[in-house]
Amino acid sequence: MTMKLPPASDHVYFNDGFKCSSISITTNLNELNGDNGVISSNDSQGSNEFILTEDGRKIIPNIKTLDYAKLWLQDRKRRTFKRKILQKRLPITQWLPKYNFDDAVGDLVAGITVGLTVIPQALAYAGIAGLPAAYGLYGSFLGCFVYIFLGSCKDVPFGPSAIVALLTFQAAQGSWQKSVLLSLLCGIVELTMGIFGLGFLINFVSGPVSSGFTSAVSLIILTSQIKNILGITARGATFVEIWTQIFNNIGEARSADTILGITCIVILLIMRFFTSFRIGPEEPLLRSRTQNVINKIIWVVSTSRNAILVIGCCIMGMILRDDEGTPFKVIGYIPQGLPSFALPPIHINGNDTFTGKEETFVEMVKSMGSGLIVIPLISLMENIAICKAFGNGKPVDASQELIAIGTANIANAFVQGFPGTGALSRGAVNHASGVRTPLSNIYSGSLVIISLIFLTPYFYYIPKATLAAIIIAAVVFMVEVKVIKPMWRAKKTDLLPGLSTFLACLILPLEIGILVGVGVNILFILYHAARPKISTEILSTSAGHEYLMITPDRCLMFPSVDYVRNLVTKQSLRSNVPVVVIDASHIFGADFTAAKVIESLLKDFATRRQLLFFYNLKPSICSIFESISAEEFVVYYQEQQLDELLKERNYNPANSNLQV
């Protein structure tokens, strides 16, 4: 089999590391073969065993550690003062100089559409967080403006999200002071994580865990809103408790609220269906002008369904009011005007708590607990989900996104906002409206400001059931039932972490639930590391000597080494072949524990006079094993070398007697 390698082309090597940035080392193939003592043949009889001669790890060790550090430092220094780093950390500098008319139109349309969505959602999500509706609006403008400068993803509309609102409620227990402080602290945590490049942590939340979490959150939010639809009071800690209470109190359901709520849900679902409805021919180019205009109107109306419904219901509320108030519960008084720009509260007076007990800063922080870590991580998860969903494969800079949403949350805390992030549902609206840059945030933020200054008196009449309907119609599609089928088809075992997360989140506090899911999933990785697949076969050398070839399929790390040792010993004894070769082609990593086990394997083989060779062991692994082996340690890299090795040892299968 022939593989032609280009004689002197450039090759790029990757150094691993938690950061995605990599040091590129360029070399040519001839240097490479010479420097590393790796045998590679380019002739027509060549083997492809060395297809990986360009593996980063083979080259890096030959650069002395000191040089390596120096290189890194120089690289760092050079990069720090380059424009690239500015563009990376202040993404507005990338797109603003190239901003054109098309961009402006796209952003304006998208910004206004998102603005019409964010106002009702903000009012509703404040309810999920257990706060008066006004706080939702407070958290929906300043952060948007910050995101314009720091955000790296055009589709992200910063603001309150349903998931983060629920987490806020669990951490701040519906106290506005704690919610605002939480926004500050989460912002600081996010910013710090961003600076230290800890965004990679969300990689440990797998697809199934993320689906299970989102589905559970949606169900919990749905549950919490059902009582608003029914107009009843149901208090309970867990999912099951709330449902029990709802069923017990269903008799107290207020018919006006229930009818209004259900009607709203039905209207929203119908209008949602129309977002993808088009009249005329399938192919857009074949449609007439009128058809196109009608289609555009259908799309705008159906996309602005939340705003339209709220306005409609609000007007209805104003019309239907009498001396006893409105026939359904309304959100009530919202103070007019912008919130004051002030430091976030760092203690709570006795008058402001349910118990009448004063709370100090330390007590406030303590009561937030693990929310301070989980909210930033989940915020990032939701935010990155938008970037990935609409980014066309553009790599996502998680660190920069952390810096952006962190700073936005810190800013929000000064105008009494609660924690926010890029909300997935509005991200989809933003993208569908043709957003071009993060500048669209300026229009949605401005709309929120306008509504705070001029519209709050009218918001009084917005029915609670309508807001609940908006939430329900949004989160019902977040229950990811559809993902079960492909998961079942692709890998059935992956249903387990997904299902554990889902159930754990329903039963336990959300932050514990997701940790359980991640923990279950990490067990998969550990199992994988602990139980390599090992295949064995009896082969013959060209001189006709039989030997046992044992091939482990992955790295040798401490959880697996004993297992591998036992299998190798068992097979070596069972096969009764005096020559055993371990094919290390797939071993790309090893540790000290593995080296110790290899040492004792070599000792065992020497004791029973069985020969043990290593085939195709990477030089980096070789140096780990060699360093502590007292016995002879033999590695060969080409098939035919085995015969030479056997000849050197005067090997004769007839004479060889295993000393078992």
Site for a copy of itself in 19-48 (CB under 8 A): 20, 45-48
Please count the residues of this chain forming the interface with a copy of itself, following the rule CB under 8 A. Answer: 107
Q: Which is nearer to a copy of itself, 528 or 647 (CB)?
A: 528
Q: Nearest to residue 497, comparing CAs of 206, 156, 131? A: 206
Q: Applying CB under 8 A, does 631 fall inside the site for a copy of itself?
A: no
Q: Nearest to residue 334, comparing CAs of 141, 182, 172, 122? A: 122
Residue 531 beta carbon to a copy of itself: minimum distance, rounded to whole angstroms: 4
Binding mask 365-404 for a copy of itself (x = CB under 8 A): -----------------------x---xxxxx--------
Q: How far is the CA of 516 from the CAs of 198, 439, 487, in angstroms?
A: 21, 39, 20
Binder to a copy of itself among 35, 67, 102, 553 (CB under 8 A)?
Answer: 553
Residues of span 277-336 touching a copy of itself by CB under 8 A: none
Residues of span 599-628 touching a copy of itself by CB under 8 A: 600-601, 603-604, 607, 624-625, 627-628
Q: Which is nearer to a copy of itself, 334 or 550 (CB)?
A: 550
Residues of span 571-590 touching a copy of itself by CB under 8 A: 571, 574-575, 583, 585-586, 588-590
On whether the CB atoms of residues 580 and 568 are closer than 8 A, the answer is yes
d(CA 456, CA 487): 46
Residue 517 beta carbon to a copy of itself: minimum distance, rounded to whole angstroms: 12
Residue 529 beta carbon to a copy of itself: minimum distance, rounded to whole angstroms: 5
Q: Applying CB under 8 A, does 7 fall inside the site for a copy of itself?
A: no
Residues of span 466-525 touching a copy of itself by CB under 8 A: 486-487, 489-491, 494, 521-522, 524-525
- DSSP symbol at 4: P
Strands 579-583 and 546-552, bridge-based pairing:
parallel
Q: Which span sits near a copy of itself by CB under 8 A: 266-274, 316-324, 355-363, 592-600? A: 592-600
The two structure tokens encoding residue 94: 């990338």
> 632-657 burial, b if ≥16 CB within 10 A, otherwise e?
ebbbbbeeebbbebbeeeebeeeeee
Q: Applying CB under 8 A, does 206 fall inside the site for a copy of itself?
A: yes
Query: Other C-beta atoms within 10 Å of 332: how many?
Result: 13
Q: Which is nearer to a copy of itself, 250 or 525 (CB)?
A: 525
Residue 479 C-beta-side C-alpha neighbours within 13 Å: 13
Q: Applying CB under 8 A, does 659 fall inside the site for a copy of itself?
A: no
Query: Other C-beta atoms within 10 Å of 310: how many?
Result: 24
Q: Applying CB under 8 A, does 4 fall inside the site for a copy of itself?
A: yes
Binder to a copy of itself among 256, 534, 622, 645 (CB under 8 A)?
Answer: 534
The 3-state DSSP class for residue 27 equals strand
d(CA 306, CA 117): 6
Q: Applying CB under 8 A, does 536 fall inside the site for a copy of itself?
A: yes
Q: Which is nearer to a copy of itself, 277 or 592 (CB)?
A: 592
Q: What is the dihedral of CA 242, 248, 251, 254, to 10 degrees?
A: -10
Cα three-residue angle 440-393-26, rounded to 5 degrees:
120
Residue 299 beta carbon to a copy of itself: minimum distance, rounded to whole angstroms: 23
Q: Which is nearer to a copy of itself, 84 or 603 (CB)?
A: 603
Please report the beta strands in 464-545, taking only residues with DSSP state E, as ranges in sequence order.
534-540
What phi and psi, each to the nearest 5 degrees, are found at residue 195?
-65, -40
Q: Applying CB under 8 A, does 262 fall inside the site for a copy of itself?
A: no
Q: Which is nearer to a copy of itself, 289 or 489 (CB)?
A: 489
Binder to a copy of itself among 264, 387, 429, 595 (CB under 8 A)?
Answer: 595
- DSSP symbol at 201: G
